[in-house]
Amino acid sequence: MTEFPFSDLPAIEPGHVWLAGAGPGDPGLLTLLAAKALGEADVIVHDALVNEECLKLARPGAALEYAGKRGGKPSAKQRDISLRLVELAKSGLKVLRLKGGDPFVFGRGGEEALTLVEHGVPFRIVPGITAGIGGLAYAGIPVTHREINHAVTFLTGHDSSGLVPDRIDWEAIAKGSPVIVMYMAMKHIGRISAQLIAGGRSASEPVAFVCDAATATQKVLETTLGEAERAVAASGFEPPAIVVVGEVVRLRPSLDWLGALSGRKLVGDPFAGDNRKDTA
């Protein structure tokens, strides 16, 4: 095996757990530290959204354990996954818990880390590129653009019960956040759209759904808040998806760099001439 560069990077120690993010899909978005961990771990406990190409970096003989949780499908219970990490670490193994995106952004990494603390297991967090940033970038949609927004809200479209979270102040978000990025929201987009419109958002506001973000099967649906539910149903698109609401969606015809590689002709700045230039 080729010697890994950056030899001063930390190494997984026996009895330790690393909670690492694999990014939104493209294996090239792995961090150096996550890639190094893949080549060192004795066992890799991975999620459903981790690209299988990433797992090819595992060292020969490493055990791969699937611990994916997908809505509406049989899945391991979170407490059982957390306790499995404890069990593996207590047996003296080098454990890598590999998650899609970032472990601390709607990834249950905090829950698993707290269980490790509870049982005295040392751990390290290896952040990854979350889909709400990297997945949208692969669709040519920036989460911030200084001519449009100086704030962005990230939220989840369902809670542990599988329903739209009732603790979210939808009216406050509708009024206060120019760009809203939603994880796990496709299933409930009708109710969410209605809440945002009731809170003051325009039904004509641009919305984009990015399915299988940063993978070879990535698909993007552009619609409006008022038409979102109908458009998703007609598209046949399925989760996993990241959803973004806001004027930044209008930048996609100009910034769809991935589409341009396949021949799409990009257009000029859609906001050129607007009186909203930020000189700061």
Active site residues: 47, 69, 184
206: left (phi over 0), alpha (psi -120 to 50) or beta: beta
- Closest by alpha carbon to 190, among 172, 164, 208? 164
| DSSP secondary structure, the chain, as one string | -PPPS-TTS--PPTT-EEEEE-BSS-GGGS-HHHHHHHTT-SEEEE-TTS-HHHHTTSPTT-EEEE----TTS----HHHHHHHHHHHHHTT--EEEEESB-TTSSSSHHHHHHHHHHTT--EEEE----HHHHHHHHTT--S--TTT-S-EEEEES--TTSSPPTTS-HHHHHHH-SEEEEES-GGGHHHHHHHHHHTT--TT-EEEEEESTTSTT-EEEEEETTTHHHHHHHHT--SSEEEEESGGGGGHHHH-HHHHHTTPPP---TTTT-TT----
